[in-house]
Amino acid sequence: MKTLNLAAAAALGLIATMAAADGVVAPADVVFEDGAVEKSLTGAPGNAANGPDIMNKGAGNCIACHEVSALSDLPFQGTVGPSLDGAGSRWSEAQLRGIVANAKEMFYESMMPSFYKTSGYIRPGDEFTGKAASEPLPPMLSAEEIEDVVAFLMTMKDE
Amino acid sequence: MKNIYPLTAIASSFLIALSAPAKADEDAKLVVNDEIEMVTETAAPSHLEGLDTIYSGWTFRTDETQSLQMDDFDNPAFVFVDQAMDAWDKVEGSAEKSCSSCHGDVMESMKGVRAVYPKWNEEAGEVRTLVTQINACRTEQMGAEPWGYTSGKMASMEALISVPSRGMPVDVAIDGPAQSMWAKGKELYYTRFGQLELSCANCHEDNYGNMIRADHLSQGQVNGFPVYRLKNTKLNTAHARFKGCVRDTRAETFNPGSEEFIALELYVASRGNGLSVEAPSVRN
């Protein structure tokens, strides 16, 4: 699945940007407007059911910093960022997409990592090995993973 | 207009910024062996703009971990201190000398030393950490092999040398010839490294008291180093800790003993000026 996306992204780079609306938008081509991203990064709606897993482990690890009551079965939720409860009522889908893709576009100098970014780092490393890596790095979340997380966040409405 | 802050978002981040750092027990006092009263909380040194109050890492640990540091019989680090006691008297190298040949009783000669390191060494023309000083003695005074920067032998010797300074205030000089290294360390402290783009300050200045996953963030002070960690059941040097923290930002880390980490240790130590030397301390 992932390789398919990468292939699509690579292909897109070669073909004209016109095609982008139908396929995956590469990290460098994402258009932010007031911190929000209007169009789906995959051109399709995300699958909310995949959201919790992405937010719990791997490069997503959102609950390292955020509490999410809907995921209260997952232990050790962090308090660095605000609780994400009700995020789907507070923000539009486009805003959530922008926040998850690159929170620094929405929040000035945010501590939240930029999940759909591939270059412009200081001493980038090869994941958690402590060894050097050269840019462009793979984004921490794929376009599809971001859409899945956004779809899940949209289900988190105020009671 | 680049940033839109919906009201609720402002309110929630605001609350986090305002809430006082949560500690296991706000009033817990650290007295070691019913004798040495430690300053674990005090006014920040004047050079430090980002904090009003500085706290020892001890104040963020659980009651159980805290109590292990209150008595040397419970503190697992003292196994290593005993080993270093033997090393102190051991003759090594071409000069056929031991540390004690020149320095006598460690509890007398090393009193106050840990509190002022890292420190400018005039003769060598460099900032020395305790580790680089110990290795300078080994190679130049004893004609012996240097110990590895983060090796067990080195961490144990650092721990031993720290013991007679316990309870004394950290008092690292940041002016004079050390100033440029200090400034370099400060710059590193505020640099957002790696793919996570996080600086030491993001976690240890802006978010101490908060939970990051299962970890209760402290101010990342070094007054307790070397530290016995329950997690790896050994003594850990400050540079090993720095290495791990930089690695965890998905960055290319620096090597223990590198100029960057010596500068960083000097700067981080100076952020703790006024806290007591606690080394060897116990952390999770």
Band of pLDDT at residue B23, cut at 50, 70 and 90: low
ipTM: 0.87
The number of beta carbons lying within 10 Å of the beta carbon of residue B47 is 13
Q: Which residues of A touch B8 (CB under 8 A)?
A: 86, 90
- Rounded mean pLDDT, B177-193: 98
The whole-number pLDDT of residue A23 equals 86
Give the per-residue pLDDT at A4: 43
- Whether B8 shows a pLDDT value over 80: the answer reads no
Q: With beta carbons under 8 A apart, name residues in chain B contacting A114.
A: 197
* Distant-in-sequence, close-in-space partners of A156: CB < 8 Å, separation ≥ 6: A68, A70, A84, A85, A86, A87, A88, A89
**Strand pairing report for B234-236 and B215-216:** unpaired
Binned at pLDDT 50, 70 and 90, residue B24 comes out as low
Residue A100 confidence (pLDDT) above 70: yes
* pLDDT, average across residues A100-124: 98
Report d(CA B232, CA B247) in Å as an integer. Answer: 17
B102-160 pLDDT per residue, tens: 999 999 999 999 999 999 999 999 999 999 999 999 999 999 999 999 999 999 999 99
Taking contacts as CB-CB distances below 8 angstroms, the residues of chain A near B193 are: 121-123
A 64-103 → B contacts, CB under 8 A:
64-65, 75-83, 86, 90-91, 95
Buried b (16+ CB within 10 A) or exposed e, B15-40: ebeeeebebeeeebebebeeebebbb
Q: What's this model's pTM, rounded to 2 decimal places?
A: 0.92
- The answer to whether residues A153 and A52 touch, using CB atoms and an 8 Å cutoff, is no
Per DSSP, A52 falls in state: H
CB contact under 8 A, B12 and A83: yes
Q: In angstroms, rounded to a whole number, what is the distance separating the alpha carbons of residues A41 and A24?
A: 5
Alpha helices in A31-111 (DSSP H): 51-56, 87-90, 93-101
By Cβ distance, the residue of B9, B198, B253 closest to A82 is B9
Mind listing the pLDDT tens digit for each residue in A47-71?
A: 999 999 999 988 889 999 999 999 9
Cis peptide before B118 (omega within 30 of 0): yes
**Residue B128 near residue B118, CB atoms below 8 Å:** yes
Looking at chain B, the whole-number percentage of residues with pLDDT higher than 90 is 90
Q: What pLDDT band is residue A159 in, cutting at 50, 70 and 90?
A: confident
Chain B residue with Cα closest to A139: B195
